Amino acid sequence: MSLETDTPESTGIDDIDWEEIDANAVRLDPEIFYKYVSLVLLCLLWAYDYIYRDPRLSLLDVDIPLGFTTFNLELNPGNVDYLMGLTLLAMFWWVAVPLARSPEMTKQYWREFRRNKAAVASLVFLAVILVVGLIGPLIIGRPSSDFGAMHEAPVFLGGTWEYPLGTNSRGEGIFKIVIAGMRVSMQVGLIATLIVIVLASIVGTTAAFSGGWVDEVLMRFVDLLMTFPTFFLILFLVYIYGGDLFMLIVILGITGWGGVCRLVRSEALQRTEEEYIEAAEAAGATMRYIVRRHLIPNVSNTVITAATLAIPFLILTEAVLAFLGFGDPDVWSWGRIIAEGRDDLGTAWWVATIPGIFLFATVLAFNFLGDALRDAIDPRHQIR
Amino acid sequence: MTDTEPLLQVRNLETQFHTDEGIVRAVDGVSFDVYPGETVCIVGESGSGKTVTIESITRILQMPPGEIVGGEVIFDGIDLTTASEKEIRRIRGDRISHVFQNPQGSLNPVYTVGAQIREAIQANRDVGKKAAREQAIELLDEVGIPEAGARIDDYPHEFSGGMRQRVVIAIALAGEPDLLLADEPTTALDVTIEAQIIDLLLRLQEERDMAIVFVTHDLGVVAEIADRVVVMYASKVMEQGHVHEIFDRPAHPYTRALLDCLPGPDGVTPIEGTLPNPLDHPDGCRFAARCEYAIEPCFVGEHPSLLPADGDEDHLVSCLLYRDGHDESVIDREPRRADPFAVGDDT
Amino acid sequence: MSETGHPLLVVRNLEKHFPVQAGVFKREVGRIRAVDGISFSIEKGETFGLVGESGCGKSTAAKAIMHLIEPTGGEVIFDGKNISGMSKDERRGFRRQAQMIFQDPESSFDPRMTIGESVAEPLRVNGMTDRERRRSIVEGLLERVGLDAGDADRYPHEFSGGQKQRIGLARALSINPELLVADEPVSALDVSIQAEILSLMEDLQREFNLAILIISHNLGVIRQISDAVGVMYVGELVERGPTEDVFGDPAHPYTRALLSSIPRPDPHIERSGMELTGDVPSPSDPPPGCRFHTRCPEVIQPDGLELDQTDWRTILTLADRVYRGDIDPQTVRESVLSVAEDGEREPEDVTLSEFEGRLREDFDIQQELEPTAVDTTIHHAIEALYEERPEVAAERLQETFATPCRDSRPASTTVEGDQVAACHLLETSVEASETVPATGDD
């Protein structure tokens, strides 16, 4: 279908030959391309590891010579670690890249965010926790028992530098335990939140934009989900299969998105009233395009804030389960260590207290961060 | 008109807003008088400071971020800018009432209109519940609500937009004010309803001998109701005078440009350029950058003060060209007759 | 005007009804007849203005024409092809040739997209993947509407309302459409900015040979920009025709009333005083017959009746309320008591004369109307109401005050040339001019 208007001379718009355009309509946005490539690479790696290799064997085991010593880098990622990789990829593509692409908006967010000193401190603290949690265990290794050094005091109470934060009843170093715990908490918080965000955003925006029976069905499902007894499901599964971090994260993720979904839907409902949505429809945009390009970016403020406030809840939930003994016995969850140390509070208070302080500080920092983000990226602040 | 004392004198009023980006001087030395029983229209584009001006009069402005930093508002011998909160509350609603643009927002949806009018009556007068109710019915009847006795117990959502604005006016009248401050009361309404409300206001004014300050951006409404007009632009008064002078022989180039913006039989003539930044008003005359008659001195110093145009003390204009030593006759003071409907009119 | 021999857009009996649902099973309990059978056509390069009060259905009509909402009935024929029956793929072609601009400059741009991305969106969703080409089109357009090419990288909140409306025009024109639908494009703007946007629209129209459908409640705007105009009232088009004819010599009483209620920017003109009473009826329950008859100042009187038009209007208003069963005798009784400041009596004690007095006052009906026959009918009707027999009251009023305006829907009548109006006065213009003074012009 070609346009038959007489082309005006000085418009800078040439007649567009839609037939030609339709024929060449292969969409290949470089950014989308790299997004998919990175995702596919991660999946391939997982498949290779899962299918072709013995799970007990390490994926990577190399000695890196560092001149005076050699450093042994051993990687044996489990399913949780692959999910964590996926989460980090998502954070890169959905948070880092958009922020970098519109530096002006980023600056404005930062100006707003910077006002809240507690939140800035929280951000730094959490960044440290994340980095140390991810890399630390690779460098210093996992805690190991040393029955010659049980209940050793931290260094500031007269202990030795071998165990700077003391040891527990099996002589495992609290320092290493705390760092291993950081990893677990971050994994639980971030991965489960990613699952929550993805499900809540897709379902919430689709329901809001479609309306009618689609909305009805999806939101009634959310109602059901929100009455679902997650705790008992976990107890049941732990009873049958034993505690497993992967399973725990996935269950927390896929049962916990109802509340965020409702928020997203109500926000998206307001957005669908906006005229830019109508303009896109009038231009012939598909529902998928509108949801992806307009609705999801414009509810992202709600999503990010809700997510930041969901993370501490998830971390605490995992800690509680571990404390009660329903956690994964193979991972160094802060909750489990606190439970273990509570009998020795009189003699070795540091065993329970130090992980407790870290748990408390992490949860508090996420709360501060969430509040400050809400203030900084609230669209009502953003415009004018 | 000038032999009586003015009811309200606004003198060099200055109101500022403290914002993140800096101080917005929303009203910057505005002066005008209102005499008993007359209608003064403050006309201007959005951002010209017209709403802030009348909200400063009874200090219903949000403070902070707003702040009245200078000038006087003298009502009946009292300076309202320095009056105590108690004094001003006695004047507000009783002697000076407000009507706002959005009737939806000025009525509380959870109370019946009767309750809201009664509240306004009882706030100003010591009357019993029953007497107040009867007065409320009378008021509703007076503002043209049919079957007032039956509708008094209805809730605001049961009224249409025009009817709600009538209710708002009834509430404003409850204190039998001497002065009604109306901020774009017809802008949200359709033309046929707007005409009803304007007629109502004019009738009420006549019956009650009440002065009205009417804020609007619609020159058609101004022509219809105003006795005198105050033209505002970028926080300053550009011109004020009798409605006939403003429309027939506008003295300020801005006033004429504004009149020429109205759709007419030979199209519109837009004003070139944009409004100055309220955070940083330019030196000299605020309109100079868009003015076709601007000369070099227009761009320096303070905004020109108000001077009589044509030697008429009641027609004031703030334009340098009217000063001694300049020639105001260069200004074309014949507005294009911008009445798009003059053709269909047999008058 | 058209080289191809047919108008660019033909709208025929377009209808959009919204169901009113209730209960768990979403049973339809009524319909809002937002647009109820409107017809008009637009030639290439022509501007058609749709004017009416809020709630008359003009915006709904625009959306239904664009098929942003599916019409419930009627046809939209664009460039000879019926859009309503088209498949998704075929509609794509239509979307590329018809674009919209919107009322609210604040909400018509995605705050998270740059202006450039927003303007390029129609190109993008229509499959133009070449970024460079999109960019060059966008830059050319931004300059054309009076902005800088460099503005493409800025965000919407950095622009004023007028600038955003310019950008909206650029976006609509990016795929070089033939039809532009503008829904209240200037009503959120100041007069001086309105003037800018309107003259830009006129320039662009000439340059691109655009057909424009402009929707506005502002008659001045419509008057300035439109070649032809349609006046809507409660979902119907009451009058349409060339702008000069419709505004210069309006044929429908509603058009006359609208025109006479515009505040004129000239302090020497007194408004002609033809003020409409009452509010616009709800489209969920439109009045029977001519929808304007409940407010019309020129309703046809039954044969043999020659009342003063003002008195006739007050009687009809009462009659309408009675026909609709809107008058609750109990409320009237209570109203009598509360006005009489009499707390002692029960509502049942209100006398007929008090009751009648109250109603007559409420509806501004004179006591002792001439001729007596009319007054007697009103008296009997009110008596029936007093006795809680509203059907009898309605029957009595209907016997004496039957009018074609209520009894039948007026057909569209050609007034002169292309000017068409739907009013009984025009169908029976000879008799009507005898009985009904044309109050619009005095």
C146/B contact by beta carbon, under 8 A: no
Alpha-carbon distances of B312 from B228, B241, B247, B322, C346, rounded to whole Å: 14, 9, 16, 12, 65
B150/C contact by beta carbon, under 8 A: yes
Q: What is the per-residue pLDDT for B239?
A: 92
Q: Min CA distance, B185 vs chain C (Å)?
A: 14
Substitution target in B130, B141, B196, B341 with the highest count of C β-carbons within 10 Å is: B341
Q: What's the complex ipTM? A: 0.78
Amino acid at C174: S
pLDDT tens digits, B118-176: 888 888 778 888 888 888 888 888 888 877 777 888 888 888 878 888 888 888 888 88
B129/C contact by beta carbon, under 8 A: no
- Mean pLDDT calculated for residue range A185-204: 91
Q: What is the per-residue pLDDT for C125?
A: 86
**A230 near A352, Cβ under 8 Å?**
no
- Classify B14 as helix, strand or coil: strand
pLDDT tens digits, B201-253: 888 888 888 999 999 988 888 988 899 999 999 889 999 999 988 888 888 98
pLDDT tens digits, A201-227: 999 999 988 888 889 999 999 999 988
> pLDDT higher for B265 or B195?
B195
Respond yes or no on whether the N-terminal peptide bond of residue B270 is cis (omega within 30° of 0): no
Task: Express as a percent the part of chain B with pLDDT over 70.
Answer: 95
- Mean pLDDT calculated for residue range A265-274: 88
**C45 near C209, Cβ under 8 Å?**
yes
Positive or negative: CA dihedral C122, C128, C131, C134: negative
pLDDT tens digits, A142-189: 777 777 777 777 777 777 777 778 787 777 888 888 888 888 888 999
Q: Do C209 and A12 touch (CB under 8 A)?
A: no
> pLDDT higher for C328 or A190?
A190
Q: What is the per-residue pLDDT for C227?
A: 92
Q: What is the per-residue pLDDT for A376?
A: 79
Which positions in chain A touch C143 (Cβ < 8 Å)? 12
Q: Min CA distance, C93 vs chain A (Å)?
A: 7
- Mean pLDDT calculated for residue range B32-37: 90
> pLDDT higher for B184 or B104?
B184
Which positions in chain C touch A279 (Cβ < 8 Å)? 100, 102, 108, 121, 168, 171
**B5 near B176, Cβ under 8 Å?**
no
Buried b (16+ CB within 10 A) or exposed e, A283-294: bbbeeebbbebb
Range of lowest pLDDT (A11-25, A60-74, C260-274): A11-25
Substitution target in C187, C239, C243, C264 with the highest count of B β-carbons within 10 Å is: C264
Q: Min CA distance, C247 vs chain B (Å)?
A: 6
- Mean pLDDT calculated for residue range B68-80: 87
- Mean pLDDT calculated for residue range A357-365: 92
Q: What is the per-residue pLDDT for C432?
A: 42
B267/C contact by beta carbon, under 8 A: yes
Domain definitions of chain B by residue range: 107-176, 244-344
* Strand-by-strand arrangement of the B236-242 sheet: B96-99, B179-183, B211-216, B39-43, B228-233, B236-242, B312-317, B307-309
Within 45-64 of C, beta carbons closer than 8 Å to B belong to 53-54
Alpha-carbon distances of C190 from A78, A166, B48, B288, rounded to whole Å: 63, 72, 11, 20
> Is residue C144 within a helix (H) or strand (E), and if so which, with residue range?
helix C131-144
Q: What is residue A49's DSSP assignment? A: I
Within 216-235 of C, beta carbons closer than 8 Å to B belong to 217, 219-221, 223-225
- Mean pLDDT calculated for residue range B88-115: 83
Degrees to nearest 5, angle at CA C42 with C38 and C48: 80
Name the residue among C383, C402, C400 with its Cα closest to residue C392. C383
Q: What is the per-residue pLDDT for A237?
A: 87
**pLDDT tens for each residue of chain C, 442 residues long:** 444 578 899 999 999 998 887 776 777 778 888 898 899 999 999 999 999 888 788 888 998 998 888 899 898 999 888 888 888 777 888 888 889 998 888 888 988 888 999 999 998 888 887 888 888 899 999 998 988 888 888 888 888 888 899 999 999 998 889 999 999 888 888 888 888 888 899 999 998 889 999 999 888 888 888 999 999 999 899 999 999 899 888 999 999 888 888 888 888 877 665 677 777 888 888 888 888 988 888 888 888 778 888 888 888 888 888 888 878 888 888 777 776 665 677 777 788 888 888 888 878 887 777 777 888 888 888 888 888 888 888 888 888 888 888 888 888 888 888 888 888 888 765 444 433 333 333 3
> pLDDT higher for A39 or C364?
A39
| Helix, strand, coil distribution of chain A in percent, nearest 5 | 70, 5, 25
Q: Do C157 and A382 touch (CB under 8 A)?
A: yes
pLDDT at A28 over 70: no
**Residue A11 is nearest to which of C63, C93, C207, comparing CB atoms?**
C207
pLDDT at B343 over 50: no
Range of lowest pLDDT (A195-204, B2-11, B33-42, B47-56): B2-11
Residue in chain C lying closest to B198 (CA) = C263
How many C-beta neighbours within 10 Å does residue A10 have?
A: 8
Dist. CA C388–CA B91, nearest whole Å: 48
Q: pLDDT-derived band of residue A9, with 50, 70 and 90 as boundaries?
A: very low
**Residue C126 is nearest to which of A273, A276, A284, comparing CB atoms?**
A284
Dist. CA B121–CA B135, nearest whole Å: 8
**Residue C127 is nearest to which of A13, A25, A282, comparing CB atoms?**
A25
Q: Do A382 and C111 touch (CB under 8 A)?
A: yes
Q: What is the mean pLDDT of chain A?
A: 82
User: Cα dihedral angle (A42, A48, A49, A54), rounded to 10 degrees?
Assistant: 180
Respond yes or no on whether the N-terminal peptide bond of residue A164 is cis (omega within 30° of 0): no
- Mean pLDDT calculated for residue range A83-102: 87
Helices vs strands, H then E, count in chain B = 11, 12
**C370 near C306, Cβ under 8 Å?**
no
Q: pLDDT-derived band of residue A378, with 50, 70 and 90 as boundaries?
A: low
Which positions in chain C touch B264 (Cβ < 8 Å)? 224
Q: What is the per-residue pLDDT for A21?
A: 66
Q: What is the per-residue pLDDT for A271?
A: 86
What contacts C85, CB < 8 A, 6 or more positions away? Answer: none
Respond yes or no on whether the N-terminal peptide bond of residue C371 is cis (omega within 30° of 0): yes
Within 241-300 of A, beta carbons closer than 8 Å to C belong to 273-276, 278-286, 289, 293-294, 297-298
**Residue C265 is nearest to which of B257, B338, B344, comparing CB atoms?**
B338
